[in-house]
Structure 1
Amino acid sequence: MGTSESLHQKTTQNGSWDDIRDLPPSAKLVAKVLEYNDTMTQQQIADETLLPARTVRYALNRLDDENVVNSRVSFSDARKRLYRLDIE
């Protein structure tokens, strides 16, 4: 298996709770909120967690780096993204 193939597998592979263990508390909180709420916008996550919007954005970026969160464009408002926890 070549390097590009193993890199491709890594980027498409779902994460696990072990991947979250060393992340900041804000990222852990966002992950837990997403675990209980299925899909949410950044604003909904901020409202639920009482975290500032920029902290939520940072947490989502960290979770995305670990491949434990997926996002898609909202059908009801294309300016917003919906986030979902993607842990096996």
Structure 2
Amino acid sequence: MSTTSVDHQSPIETDEEFRERLRELPPSAKLVAKVLEGDEPLSQGELAEESLLPDRTVRYALNRLGDADLVGSRYSFRDARKQVYFLDD
């Protein structure tokens, strides 16, 4: 959703900035972000299954995370009809 530029910030500053942007979001977005901390990108359905949230709530959370430039997406390599989501560094 956004491209990151190369800068010379320390990882701690980047993590603090991430946490600050996340702090302003609703609890559902925080939970989805927590589930996305794993290494593998997940589809909306997988996120709903892992978070125990309804599909509609996951979609709302992903939109909010996307608006805050905290999540990225791409087409799934396993099923090109689906998008998978990951935390945007």
Query: TM-score category by the smaller chain?
Result: 0.7 to 0.9
Deviation at residue 43 of structure 1 after TM alignment: 0.5
**1:81 — aligned with what?**
83
**2:12 — aligned with what?**
none
Runs of 4+ residues over 6 Å off in structure 1: none
Letter paired with 1:12: T
* Higher Cα radius of gyration: 1
Whether the 8 Å CA contact 1:72–1:82 is kept in 2: the answer is yes
Give the percent of matched residue pairs that are identical in Structure 1 and Structure 2.
57
| 1-structure distance, mates of 2:65, 2:40 | 15
**1:55 — aligned with what?**
57
Matched, 1:22 2:13: no
Q: In proportion to residue count, which structure has more helix? A: 1
| 2-structure distance, mates of 1:38, 1:68 | 16
Letter paired with 2:3: T
Q: TM-score, normalised by structure 2?
A: 0.78
Query: 2:3 is matched with which residue: 3, 12, 15?
Result: 12
| Cα 1:50/1:37, change in 2 over 3 Å | farther
Aligned length: 77
**1:7 — aligned with what?**
none
Q: What runs of 5+ residues in structure 2 fail to find an aligned partner?
A: 6-16
Q: What runs of 5+ residues in structure 1 fail to find an aligned partner?
A: 1-10
**2:9 — aligned with what?**
none
**2:10 — aligned with what?**
none
